[in-house]
Structure 1
Amino acid sequence: MIQTILTAVLAFLGTNIDDLVLLALLSASAKTKREEMHIAAGQCLGVAAITALSLVGAFLVRAVPTKYLHLFGLAPIIFGVVKGIQNWKGKAAQAQTEQPAIGVGTMTMLVLFGSGDNLSVYIPLFAVSDAARVAVSSVVFMIMALVLCAAGRIIGQIPPVKQLVARWGEVLIPVVFITIGILILLG
């Protein structure tokens, strides 16, 4: 059991450490508790969806077209470009008063679209695991998602990080999304 837990923790950290940067930036840019909750809920829903997809993929391991997973990198690029254009045109301030900067659905999709590395690790992990190990790993992934959200919030609240995002967030956040997308595309 301990080996399963350690394996799940290492698999999660290895495939989600990039999310920590994103969570810290988004947390630093969040204006309300509601936005922070949307970010955390979206992250957790995304991890749950990735875990479910990995379980299905473990059963269909031969049919999963893994060579196309890198194309999911287009989503963060598109999101980053749209966010950058909104910021450039000055519509970001108006949008922030009407709705949260990042909604639950948007955050969930960003997590899902950046899941190529997760799927490439979790599918084989689940394929060689029995039901008990899969269940334990799934619980560990959800706990780790909460820990990652908390760590992102803590980092995002550090005054220099908050000041950096306050000053450069309109440029920095779209650049981070576009960079993540390019890295996913490059595989």
Structure 2
Amino acid sequence: MNTVYSALLTGCISFAATNIDDIFVLTALFLQSNSSKRKAYIVVGQYFGMCLLIILSSIGTFGALIIPRTWLGFLGIIPIYMGVKMFYTKDEEKPNSRNVLTDLSTYKVMLIVIGNGVDNLSVYIPLFAQGQWIYKTIIVTMFLILTGVWCWIAYKAIHNPWLGSFIKKYGHLTVPITLIGIGGYIMLEAGSFYMLVK
């Protein structure tokens, strides 16, 4: 029983501590989507990205991360590109009948999540390297539940009365700036800028 409580507490604290910045990422993504279809691919992409981070962490417990962290940092180019594009083009809501699983936008969100979560691997790898299978299963379950909670918090944040009025006035500037800042942070933290300069 102590193992269960320990895993629940560890899972919650680890996720919250390493994914605070994901709230801002999700909020920025939800801000630029007005249709329920586009909100769906954000949620699915977030889950895909988190699942891949869990898989990478599990592989890392064997001491063999296939892709170096510096290279994963180059995924920061994606939110930078999205932010710059938003400055020059108006984001029109187009009818989209594609399934979220086959929509390219889903995988763009997934890559942003992975890039933003590269620094989390240093916490997740030792976390998944310890304990019995029940311990690891509980932590993974908590991560998946809290991913949904994070999406809900970000979605509710954009419907806040004060924040909503602010977004109507300045959203066209704050969203691309946020995305560009996130992309730059991802590359900086992973050491990708240093590799480019070198």
Quickly name the TM-score band, shorter chain normalised: 0.7 to 0.9
TM-score w.r.t. the length of structure 2 is 0.79
Displacement of 1:52: 1.4
Q: Which of 103, 117, 120 pairs up with 2:119?
A: 117
Q: Which of 166, 169, 178 pairs up with 1:167?
A: 169
TM-score w.r.t. the length of structure 1 is 0.83
Go from structure 1 to structure 2 and tell me whether the alpha carbon gap of 1:67 and 1:128 turns closer, same or farther (over 3 Å shift).
Answer: farther
Cα contact 1:55–1:126 (8 A) shared by 2: yes
Pairing 1:45–2:45 present: no
Runs of 4+ in 1 over 6 A off after TM superposition: none
Q: Which of 108, 111, 114 pairs up with 2:110?
A: 108
* Backbone CA RMSD of aligned residues: 2.3
| Match of residue 77 from structure 2 | 74
Q: What are the superposed Cα offsets for residues 116-164 of structure 1, whole Å, 9 maximum, x if unpaired?
A: 1221211121123332222111111000001111111111111222232
Q: Report the AA paired with residue 185 of structure 2.
A: L
Counterpart-to-counterpart distance in 1, 2:108 and 2:69:
23
Q: Percent identity?
A: 27
- What SS is found at the alignment partner of 1:60? coil
Pairing 1:85–2:85 present: no
1:135-154 matches, within 5 Å, as 135-154=137-156
Cα contact 1:57–1:64 (8 A) shared by 2: no
Q: Report the AA paired with residue 125 of structure 1.
A: L
Pairing 1:186–2:188 present: yes
Q: Report the AA paired with residue 142 of structure 1.
A: L
| Match of residue 6 from structure 1 | 9
Counterpart-to-counterpart distance in 1, 2:67 and 2:38:
35
Cα contact 1:28–1:161 (8 A) shared by 2: no
Extract unaligned runs of 5+ from structure 2.
Answer: 98-103, 190-198
Cα contact 2:78–2:108 (8 A) shared by 1: no
Counterpart-to-counterpart distance in 2, 1:77 and 1:113:
12
